């Protein structure tokens, strides 16, 4: 086994092998939030480390000429380090950043977004756009929805990059009400399954948007951070109010009506497209005046909505994105399109045909931190018709 105590005494890149113990200094964070150090010309990835950390680490896995290593000991702590709020942080796959100050987390999220935009086809279309940052008012106790594995009266998350379960004694990112619900469910010692749990109000599952109660159940997708969700809705409302004409709007991937609610309050007619049976059932209850279409979004655009050019379109797809939808929208003349995305790479891919059509330009790019303590970030991008 090789042991390297300084860069000068480290083995060459060709001599590195699994099991080697090296002393490394973390230079910066990668695109997935992991620390990156170097041995000569080789990049080494270290989860849950901070820029400036000096660590002893063991090489574990080599992937395409780069190594994943595991920290054995922190020799010198980064000035960006803070004490994690959760005793399980180091072993749990739920959070990436509890060891980093929240200001540093926000700064990194802004920089990594700008970095990937600058390396993409969008670079020439965004030169005059400044990213707007919306940090969370509460970096802990914000999640009102989670998915847990229950087993013999224990509740578990998975360990990082693993299917191995980690029994939990606490989870500081959950709201107190949701944590109480987790404890209540775990009283059933015979329960052995994965469950989605939500807790917004005491007796019923609903939250409020634009003076409406939006009801849902555990099978429906809802944003996990109610406070930050309201910030996103505020951004969408600002864009709606800036329109001159407000006759017709489309909410694509409408869910239970999270954005449909604000759209229906301001447009003469709103079409909401959703394929999930339970979500559209609640959506029709939550925003009854909208025209609800239970179909795949692409199918609906080529069948039900093909002859229309609305004044406003909102897309809020899953992580896979909506490339085929954006290709269809590129041929239309829509005064304003708002794309809400939780996945930066699919967002960049999907925006490209809209911008290359030369029909649209980006006028606003907002970053809303729905998931403090993790590497995830929500983007709200506004495109305006040229």
- State the Cα–Cα distance between residues 282 and 39, nearest whole angstrom: 55
Q: Lowest-confidence range among 14-23, 63-72, 129-138, 243-252?
A: 14-23
Q: Which two tokens stand for residue 322?
A: 């909506």
Domains contained in the chain, CATH given:
3-81 (2.40.50.140), 103-138+225-385 (3.40.50.150)
Confidence (pTM):
0.92
Residue 324, H or E segment: helix 323-329
Residue that has been written with the tokens 């950043």 in this structure: 97
Residue 8 pLDDT > 50: no
Q: Let me know: does 264 contact 270? Beta carbons within 8 Å.
A: yes
In DSSP notation, 334-352 reads -SEEEEEES-HHHHHHHHH
pLDDT of residue 3: 41
Q: Let me know: does 168 contact 87? Beta carbons within 8 Å.
A: no
Cα–Cα nearest to 386, from 353, 364, 352, 363 = 363
Q: Which two tokens stand for residue 210?
A: 């634009």
pLDDT of residue 257: 98
Residue 45, H or E segment: strand 42-46
Please report, rounded to a whole number, the percentage of residues in the chain having pLDDT higher than 70.
Answer: 95
Residue 2 pLDDT > 80: no
């Amino acid at each position: 086994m090789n042991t390297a105590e300084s860069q000068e005494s480290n083995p060459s890149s060709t001599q590195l092998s699994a099991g080697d113990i090296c002393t490394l200094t973390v230079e910066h964070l990668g695109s997935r939030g992991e620390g990156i150090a170097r041995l000569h010309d080789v990049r080494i990835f270290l989860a849950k480390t901070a820029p400036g950390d000096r660590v002893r680490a063991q090489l574990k896995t080599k992937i395409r000429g780069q190594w994943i290593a595991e920290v054995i000991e922190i020799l010198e702590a980064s000035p960006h380090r803070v004490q994690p709020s959760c005793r399980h942080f180091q072993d749990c796959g739920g959070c990436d950043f509890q060891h980093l100050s929240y200001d540093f987390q926000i700064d990194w999220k802004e920089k990594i977004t700008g970095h990937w935009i600058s390396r993409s086809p969008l670079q020439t279309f965004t030169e005059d756009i400044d990213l707007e940052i919306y940090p969370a008012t509460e970096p802990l106790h914000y999640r009102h929805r989670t998915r847990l594995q229950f087993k013999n009266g224990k509740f578990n998350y998975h360990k990082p990059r693993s299917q191995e379960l980690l029994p939990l004694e606490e989870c500081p990112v959950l709201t107190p009400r949701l944590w109480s619900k987790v404890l209540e469910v775990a009283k059933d010692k015979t329960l052995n399954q994965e469950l989605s749990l939500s807790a917004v109000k005491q007796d019923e599952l609903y939250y409020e948007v634009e003076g409406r109660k939006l009801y849902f159940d555990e099978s429906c997708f809802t944003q996990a951070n109610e406070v930050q969700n309201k910030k996103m809705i505020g951004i969408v409302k600002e864009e709606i109010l800036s329109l001159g004409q407000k006759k017709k709007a489309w909410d694509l991937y409408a869910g239970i009506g999270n954005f449909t609610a604000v759209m229906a309050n301001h447009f003469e007619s709103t079409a909401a497209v959703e394929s999930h049976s339970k979500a559209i059932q609640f959506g029709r209850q939550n925003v009854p005046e909208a025209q609800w279409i239970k179909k795949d979004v692409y199918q609906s655009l080529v069948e039900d909505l093909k002859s229309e050019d609305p004044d406003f379109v909102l897309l809020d797809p899953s992580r896979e994105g909506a490339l085929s939808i954006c290709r269809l929208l590129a041929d239309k003349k829509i005064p304003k399109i708002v794309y809400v995305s939780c996945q930066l790479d699919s967002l960049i891919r999907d925006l490209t045909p809209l911008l290359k059509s030369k029909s649209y330009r980006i006028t606003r790019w907002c970053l809303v931190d729905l998931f403090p303590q993790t590497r995830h970030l929500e983007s709200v991008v506004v495109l305006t018709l040229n």
